[in-house]
Structure 1
Amino acid sequence: MNRDPLTVDAPRLQAVLDALDDPDCRAIVEQLREPMTASELADACDIPRSTTYRKLDLLTDVALLDERVSINPKGHHSTRYGVAFDEVRITLTDDRTLDAEINRRAWTPDERLSELWDEVRREL
């Protein structure tokens, strides 16, 4: 599933903290200088593939990563993951509760166009 990091709901504080507290999740985020597939990440981070998929689900669920499906000319598809944030802040709100604030990176025009094409393909 493609998720626009600008339109997802704000994740719960504990879910963000859990993801960032996980060493495998941090290794994945640190490795993502450019979008990569789950297999590429598993190899680069030396994490079993089954674990990598669970960690990618966790990171995308809390909107720290985005996922993009790309289709090559032969009809095969692959999902690539990329970092969806520039900064995570833990703040103390006016009512004295803690909150996670995620400053998301802006999507490039190419990413937006890719998302539009994906939506058109799903409608066909």
Structure 2
Amino acid sequence: MSFGVPSSDDRSAPDLAAIVSALDDDGCREIVTVLEEPLTAQELSGRIDRPLSTTYRKLDRLTEAGLVTETVGVRSGSHHKSRYVADFERVSIGFGDDGDFDVDLERSKDCSVGIWSEIQREF
């Protein structure tokens, strides 16, 4: 059985091992459950009651797995502020015709994910 590692820009072929690993982590699952709207790492840290450094590590893991998208907003003074948004609705794992595991990551149909992936101005 092979898991295959997609290229970082191939969002149509999720990495099964990265997804399973991220979802096996309590902190990552906790973050996904509170990301109903775009939040900063600091906002997330407060909501899940975990240190900011831990929150960043979990967000990196979720982003690498393709489960969370980092968006960048621009505030007055040209300071950038990242927000994170969950970018999936369902993960399905099954056997393909070739006997390998297949993973299907159903992306969010919520148009706000697309909106938040654009640069925002906050005044």
Band of TM-score, shorter chain: 0.7 to 0.9
Residue in structure 2 matching 1:104, options 92, 107, 122: 107
Among all aligned residue pairs of Structure 1 and Structure 2, give the percentage whose two residues are the same amino acid.
42
**What is the identity, as a one-letter code, of the residue corresponding to 1:104?**
R
| 1:60 corresponding residue in structure 2 | 63
- Provide, for residues 27-77 of structure 1, a one-character-per-residue CA deviation record: whole Å limited to 9, x for no partner: 000011100000111110011111111110110111100111000123222
Alignment of 1:19-98 (within 5 A): 19-98=22-101
CA distance in 1, matches of 2:113, 2:53: 30
- Report the CA distance between 1:109 and its aligned residue: 7.5
How many residues align structurally?
112
The more displaced of 78-87 and 91-100 is 91-100
Structure with more helix by fraction: 1
Give unmatched runs, 5+ long, in structure 1: 1-5, 119-124
Give unmatched runs, 5+ long, in structure 2: 1-8
